Amino acid sequence: MDKLNGKLIDLHAHILPGLDDGASDRVEALAMARQAVEHQIQVVAATPHFIDLTWDHVKNEAAKLGELLAAHHVDLTVVPGAELFIDLDLTGLAKEEIPTYNDAGKYCLIEFPMMELPPYVDQVLFALQVKGITPIIAHPERYRYVIDDPNLAASWIETGCLIQLNTNSILGGFGLQVQRTAEIMLRRQMVHVIASDAHSTGRRGFHLDRAAEAVGRLMGVEMVEQLLCANPARIIAGEAVDVPEVVQHRPQRRFWDLIRRRRSLE
């Protein structure tokens, strides 16, 4: 693939030690950071699951990790963030209590349940936007209801949200159904950021460079530049992201589905 003009920036990584199911301690966090650098990543947003944490605590831990990396001469910039789980309680938080990328007050990362879409999703997303925060929906290609209907992602984009896709989804690490959904979303311009969602140096490690190759073959190097460099840089800076027009997905009916429908009409 052609050389990218921008920096590889990873906006979803569980690298802060001891805060969630990611890095267990400083040693593992340091190993993850070194792996990120080996995979050509220059900036990582530390996004622990925001459970029993405060935003001030997360920011302090991100600063400590930055100091640790500097002391060990690891050339990786760490900015604070968090992965919020969608919940009605978010609507009651003041804006400054809500974790946003680089504490810029503009973008937050939010995940949904894997199997069932809560009825209050639109209410929470709207409440965040009223506060001036743009929700970035984490890895929807893995959600059962999006696999069944990728156009759900399009509906969230239409309401002003952005979409983050996981590297392992594109690379097949979560199975063929998730990979197929990821490819549909990419082709239909339903993706704005690609990130690793790294939890370790193993299977859930930093594979942004491999994803860049896969997306480059699928969509071309300009799309790679947009999703892994330009858009993440704008998000960290709290700047506006260009959102292309979504192309609705029209699933192809399988042969036996058509036969069954024909029989039901007879």
- Check whether 257 has a pLDDT greater than 60: no
Q: What is the pLDDT of residue 263?
A: 54
Q: What is the pLDDT of residue 172?
A: 96
Q: What is the pLDDT of residue 256?
A: 46
5 against 12, higher pLDDT: 12
Q: Mean pLDDT, the chain, as a whole number? A: 93
Q: What is the pLDDT of residues 123-151, one digit of tens each?
A: 999 999 999 999 999 999 999 999 999 99
Q: What is the pLDDT of residue 6?
A: 79
Distance (Å) of CA 63 to CA 10, 60, 107, 108, 212:
17, 5, 19, 19, 28
Tell me the fold of 8-265: TIM Barrel (3.20.20)
Q: What is the pLDDT of residues 49-93, one digit of tens each?
A: 999 999 999 999 999 999 999 999 999 999 999 999 999 999 999
**% pLDDT > 70, the chain:** 93
Q: What is the pLDDT of residues 10-30, one digit of tens each?
A: 999 999 999 999 999 999 999
**% pLDDT > 90, the chain:** 90
CB 197 within 8 A of CB 167: yes
41-46 and 77-80 strand pairing: parallel
Q: What is the pLDDT of residue 253?
A: 56
Q: What is the pLDDT of residues 236-245, one digit of tens each?
A: 999 999 999 9
Write the DSSP assignment of the chain as a string of letters. Answer: -PPPSS-EEEEEE--STTSSSS--SHHHHHHHHHHHHHTTEEEEEE--B-SS--HHHHHHHHHHHHHHHHHTT---EEEE--EEEP-GGGGGS-GGGS--GGG-SSEEEEE--SS---TTHHHHHHHHHHTT-EEEEE-GGGSHHHHH-THHHHHHHHTT-EEEEEHHHHTTTT-HHHHHHHHHHHHTT--SEEE--B-SSSTTS--HHHHHHHHHHHH-HHHHHIIIIIHHHHHHHT-----PPPPPP-PPPPHHHHHHHHHHH-
Query: Greatest CA separation found in the chain?
Result: 75
